[in-house]
Amino acid sequence: MPHSNHKQTLRKDYPWTTYPLISSAPMRSISKPALALAVSRAGGLGFLAAGTDLSTLSDEIREIQDALSHEPIPGSYRDTLPIGIGFIVWGCDLEHVLSILAPLPLPPSAVWLFAPHTSSDLQEWTDSIRKLTGNLTKIWIQVGTVSSALSVAHSCDPDVLVIQGSDAGGHGLAHSSSIISLLPECASALRSNEYSHIPLIAAGGIVESRGAAASFMLGASGICMGTRFLASSEAMIPTGYRNAILAAEDGGISTTRTTLYDKLRGTAGWPEEYNGRGVVNKSWWDETNGMSMEQNKELYEAEAQKGDKGYGNEGRLCTYAGSGVGLVRETMDAANVVKEVRDGMRKLIREGGSRL
C-alpha cells in the first residue's frame, strides 16, 4: 500500500484530481492537447508529449490555454496549468525548453523527464525547471530499476517517481522487470533509504481496473496508462494503428522489445540501454529470418505509402504497444477510460477487503 501521506501530497499538488491518481503517458506524436485535457477534465493528470521535437510545443500550450479560458477545470490550481508535459531528455535542448516555459503566464503542473544520457542531466533539468517556476511545476522522473530509483531520489528528490515495468509499450529499458516485482522492491528500497515521502506511479502493462488495483496494493499512489489511451478517441493516431491495437491478442507473444523500428524509421539517438515494445509484424519476422536491414528498410518505406493498410500483423509499420494490449477491446473517450478504471479499481479493492 502507498505511504499514508501520498494522498494529501497529490491532492495538494493537483487539486482537481481524484485519488488514486490516473495519468496518461506522454506518447510522442500521440499525446496532444485533446487527450491531455480530456484526462485532466476527468480528474486525472493528462500529459502533453513534447518528446524530442519542440517545434509545435508553444502552439499546443496555447491551444490548451485557449480551451481552459473557455472551459476551466473545476478545482484546478490557479498558479499552474492542469496538465503535464513530457520530455525525452537526451533529445531536447534544456535552454530551448526553458525559453518556451519562461513566458507562460501559468507553467505546467508537472514535467515528466525520461531517458537522459547521464544522471547528471536529470539533476540539471530538475534544478533549472524548479528555479524557473518557483517550484510550482512538479518533477516526475521515470525509472525502470531499483538502483535508478534510489539514484534519482538521492540526486533530484523528484516530486513523483514513475516506476515503469518491462511490460510497457514504446521506449523503455531493454532490461527491467515487470511491475509485479519492480514496484514493491522499489518501494521497499526507497523506504529503507528514507525516501518514502516520494509518491510512486506505476506504469507498464496496466490497461484496466485489475492492473490498477494490483498496482495500488503493491505500493503505487497512482497509475499511468499509455496503451489503453491509444484506443481513446482523442489520441492522435492513424486508424490503422488503432485497429491493430484493438485486434492484438496475447500481448506477451504478440508484442516484443526491439530496436528494429528505430532503425527502420531513422529515429536514432536513444541511449543504448533503451529499446521499444511494439506489436510483432512482418518487419520483425523478416529481420528474425535473416533479411538485411537495407531490404527491410526499403520494404518499410514502401509500406508507409499504404497508409492505414501498412499496420497490423501483415503490415510492416511501427505499432508501439504494451503487453496489456490484448485487454484493449474497444475505442472509448478518454474521460470514460479514466472513470471506468477508477470506479473498477475502487470496487475491486473494496471487494478484496470484504473477502478476507
pLDDT one-digit tens code per residue, 2-38: 666 899 999 999 999 999 999 999 999 999 999 999 9
What confidence tens digit (pLDDT) does each residue in 184-240 have? Answer: 999 999 999 999 999 999 999 999 999 999 999 999 999 999 999 999 999 999 999
The residue type of 5 is N
Say if residue 158 is in the same domain as residue 256: no
Instruction: Give this prediction's pTM.
Output: 0.96
Letter string b/e over residues 254-276, b meaning 16 or more CB atoms within 10 A of that residue's CB: bbbbbbbbbbbeebeebeeebbb
- H or E, element range at 187: helix 179-192
Say if residue 204 is in the same domain as residue 231: yes
pLDDT of residue 17: 96
Say if residue 182 is in the same domain as residue 286: no
pLDDT of residue 293: 98
Say if residue 220 is in the same domain as residue 336: yes
Say if residue 151 is in the same domain as residue 174: yes
Q: Which residues of the chain have pLDDT under 50?
A: none
Say if residue 47 is in the same domain as residue 90: yes
pLDDT of residue 342: 97
By residue range, what is the domain housing residue 298?
239-325
Say if residue 195 is in the same domain as residue 249: no
pLDDT of residue 76: 75
Say if residue 226 is in the same domain as residue 123: yes
| CATH number, domain containing residue 67 | 3.20.20.70
Say if residue 94 is in the same domain as residue 43: yes
- Please list, in sequence order, all residues whose beta carbon lies within 8 angstroms of the beta carbon of residue 254, skipping any fewer than 6 positions away: 248, 279, 280, 313, 325, 326
Say if residue 217 is in the same domain as residue 243: no
- CA pair distance 355, 144, nearest whole angstrom: 33
- H or E, element range at 149: helix 146-156
Grid coordinates belonging to 162: 514513475
Phi-psi label, residue 28: left if phi above 0, alpha if psi -120 to 50, beta otherwise: beta
pLDDT of residue 268: 86
Say if residue 213 is in the same domain as residue 263: no
Give the torsion sign (CA, 310, 114, 258, 163). Answer: negative
Q: How many domains does the chain have?
A: 2
Say if residue 118 is in the same domain as residue 13: yes
